[in-house]
Structures are given as C-alpha cells and as structure tokens.
C-alpha cells in the first residue's frame, strides 16, 4: 500500500515537458535565458520554422505564460526567437512551432498570446 501511495505522489510531481522535433539545420542555439516571444498566430515578418514542440508529460499549460515558462529554455536551445503556441479543444497549450526571425521586421507587430486583439474604431456616422 505504501508503494502505491509513493508511486501516486511521484506521478503528481512529474515536471511538464515537451518533445522537440527539429525541422531546420544550421540554426545556432542561444543562451538558456534568451528572450522568447509566445505568439498565437504566425507573424507577418520573415521567419524560419526551426522545429515543433509536442506535449509529452506532466501538467498541460493552460495559459500562454505557463506555456512560455515550460518551453522557453527549449526554444533558446533550438535557436528560436519565438514559439507559436497552439491550444487544443480544451484551451490547453499542447503544441508549438519554434521560429527564428530572418531579415527585417514587417510593418505589423505580431499578436501576442494573452492579449486581446486591437479593435478598430468605427468612424462612419449612422445613417438617418
């Protein structure tokens, strides 16, 4: 009985991890503490897909911030600048695409996870 209890306790303490599958060759890794962006859509600026992250073990992140805390080190090791997070039907972040920016930035800033999209104002007057 005590072994079963110990096994259950250990299973609950499993750190969250993601499996990385590389897609690009020749990308230089960055320091573990590099700046990482978490996006929910692919950016308008030029980028290269470095690899993918798939949920492997532990507790599935439910927010973009939690996802970032779990995968930031892997994104840096892969040489990425950002990760495009993909939520499943439950709203949990189970996948991501690691990207490295190339060339100059585009005119529009990418939408960041966790922030609402900017709403346009209506400048047209109502018809009478």
CATH number at residue 21: 3.30.1660
Q: How many domains, the chain?
A: 1
pLDDT at 4: 45
Tell me how far apart the alpha carbons of residues 91 and 62 are, in angstroms, rounded to a whole number.
Answer: 7
The tens-digit pLDDT sequence of the chain (128 residues) is 555 444 444 455 678 899 999 998 878 999 988 999 999 999 999 999 999 999 999 999 999 999 999 999 999 999 999 999 999 999 999 999 999 999 866 544 445 555 544 544 555 555 55
Give the Cα separation of 97 and 75 in Å (integer): 9
How many Cβ atoms from other residues are within 10 Å of residue 18's Cβ?
23
C-alpha 25 chain-centroid distance:
20
Runs of H (alpha helix) within 13-108:
64-78
Would you state the pLDDT for residue 95? Answer: 97
In a domain, residue 2? The reply is no
Does any domain span residue 48? yes
- pLDDT score for 39: 97
24: which residues sit within 8 A by CB, 6+ positions away?
A: 48, 49, 50, 51, 100
- pTM given for the model: 0.71
Asked if residue 70 is part of any domain, the answer here is yes
Inside any domain, residue 116: no
Domain containing residue 29:
14-101
């Amino acid at each position: 009985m005590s072994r079963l209890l110990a096994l259950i306790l250990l299973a609950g303490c499993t750190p969250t991890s993601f499996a990385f599958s590389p897609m690009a060759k020749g990308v230089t890794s960055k320091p573990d503490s590099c700046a990482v962006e978490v996006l929910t859509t692919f950016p308008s600026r030029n980028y290269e897909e470095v690899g993918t992250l798939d949920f492997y073990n532990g507790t599935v992140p439910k927010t973009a911030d939690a996802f970032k805390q779990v995968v930031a080190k892997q994104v840096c090791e892969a040489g990425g600048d950002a990760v495009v997070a993909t939520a499943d039907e439950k709203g949990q972040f189970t996948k991501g695409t690691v990207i490295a920016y190339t060339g100059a930035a585009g005119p529009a800033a990418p939408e960041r996870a966790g922030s609402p999209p900017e709403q346009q104002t209506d400048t047209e007057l109502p018809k009478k």
